[in-house]
Amino acid sequence: MTPLAVVAWQEFRNDLRNRWVLAATGLLAIFALALAFLGGAPAGTTGVGRIDLLVVSLASLSIFLIPLLALLLSYDSIVGEVERGTMLLLLAYPVSRAEIVAGKFLAHLGILLVAVTVGFGSAAAALAFTGDAPGTAEWAAFLRLCITSVALGASFLGLGYLASTMVTERATAAGLALGVWLLLVIVFDLVLLAALVAFGSDIPPAAVEAALMLNPADVFRLANLAVGGNVSEAAGMVGIGAELRLPASALNGVLALWAILPLAGAWLLFRRREV
């Protein structure tokens, strides 16, 4: 095993012992299954497929739980080890700081992947076994949901590392992480909505679009709900989707940037930090 792999493997083992992480993952799975069974009821006359509905509801679930899970994983990964003193030894080993950050990121990404696969996978399986087999296009939307969920998680992992690298106490990092979650997952959209209600047509769509790109949770939402086709119909977002001119590939690109930039920032900060 290379040192990078050892760092990742050790971190992964540690995370599996973290009760909060297990709880968040369990919550994701339970909600996903519940949504699958609720969605199993007749969908009425909308003509929307059941898996489309599932994707829409799971995406809303993702927006809340995936950032939470990611921040739970990441907020103490630097400052926690500094506080416990284990970082001290790690830095005395022939391991670069980039390898330490990357190793932790890989491990956390692995946890997210497991959570998404188990949570969403079981929901999809439940659906597939209880009704007609969904078509390829529907599966594609589902796969997109899984991949973008992990990307969403990655961006909040990076934000969590940033919080963890900036502070000297775990409690402060936890507070920061909670703040990030509230701000990006709840407050941001409320403020945007309030602005739209207040100024309505005075705000050009491009400005709204730009504002949405500043929040990875919104980029994720758009990438899954506003890409046209059945899913956006189910989400009732056809109106907004028509106004938004960003193609799916651009949304994917922005989400990818969001997955990478906070991580890179955390690495730059960590490089300079003295423990």
Partner 1 sequence: MNSVLSISNLSKTYASGFQALRNVDLEIRRGEIFALLGPNGAGKTTLISIVCGLVNASTGRVLVDGHDIVTDYRAARSMIGLVPQELTTDAFETVWATVSFTRALFGKKPDPEHIRNVLEGLSLWDKRDSRLITLSGGMKRRVMIAKALSHEPQILFLDEPTAGVDVELRRDMWDLVEGLRKTGVTIILTTHYIEEAEQMADRVGVIARGEIILVEEKIELMRKLGRKQLSLHLQKPLERIPQSLEHHHLELSADGMYLIYTYDTRAERTGITRLLGDLNEAGIRFRDLHTSQKSLEEIFVDLVRDRR
The residues that touch partner 1, with contacts defined as CB under 8 A, are 1-3, 6-7, 10, 13-14, 17, 84-86, 88-95, 274-275
211, two tokens: 């504002």
249, two tokens: 């590939």
For tokens 């597939």, name the residue: 128
Q: Which is nearer to partner 1, 6 or 118 (CB)?
A: 6
Q: Which is nearer to partner 1, 88 or 207 (CB)?
A: 88
162, two tokens: 């940033």
Q: Which is nearer to partner 1, 7 or 213 (CB)?
A: 7
Query: Considering the complex, what minimum distance in angstroms separates the CB of residue 114 from partner 1?
Result: 19
Nearest CA among 240, 31, 212 for reference residue 118: 31
Query: Considering the complex, what minimum distance in angstroms separates the CB of residue 57 from partner 1?
Result: 37
Q: Which is nearer to partner 1, 9 or 188 (CB)?
A: 9
For 229-271, the DSSP string reads: SHHHHHTT-HHHHHH----HHHHHHHHHHHHHHHHHHHHHHHH
Query: Considering the complex, what minimum distance in angstroms separates the CB of residue 163 from partner 1?
Result: 21
Q: Which is nearer to partner 1, 86 or 117 (CB)?
A: 86
Query: Considering the complex, what minimum distance in angstroms separates the CB of residue 7 from partner 1?
Result: 7
Query: CA angle, 160 as apex, 158 and 164 as ends, to 5°?
Result: 115
Residue 43 CA to residue 65 CA, distance in Å, equals 25
Radius of gyration over every alpha carbon of the chain, rounded to an integer in angstroms:
20
Residue 116 CA to residue 64 CA, distance in Å, equals 13
Residue 39 CA to residue 159 CA, distance in Å, equals 33
Q: Rounded to whole angstroms, what are the CA distances from 127 to 30, 47, 59, 130, 142?
A: 14, 17, 16, 5, 12
Q: Please tell me whether residue 275 adopts helix, strand or coil conformation.
A: coil
Query: Considering the complex, what minimum distance in angstroms separates the CB of residue 272 from partner 1?
Result: 9
Query: Considering the complex, what minimum distance in angstroms separates the CB of residue 172 from partner 1?
Result: 18
Residue 219 CA to residue 5 CA, distance in Å, equals 31
Q: Rounded to whole angstroms, what are the CA distances from 25 to 16, 62, 141, 151, 239?
A: 11, 11, 22, 16, 34
Query: Considering the complex, what minimum distance in angstroms separates the CB of residue 89 from partner 1?
Result: 6
Q: Which is nearer to partner 1, 89 or 198 (CB)?
A: 89
Nearest CA among 241, 242, 204 for reference residue 223: 241
Q: Which is nearer to partner 1, 73 or 251 (CB)?
A: 73
Q: Which is nearer to partner 1, 7 or 73 (CB)?
A: 7
Query: Considering the complex, what minimum distance in angstroms separates the CB of residue 29 from partner 1?
Result: 24
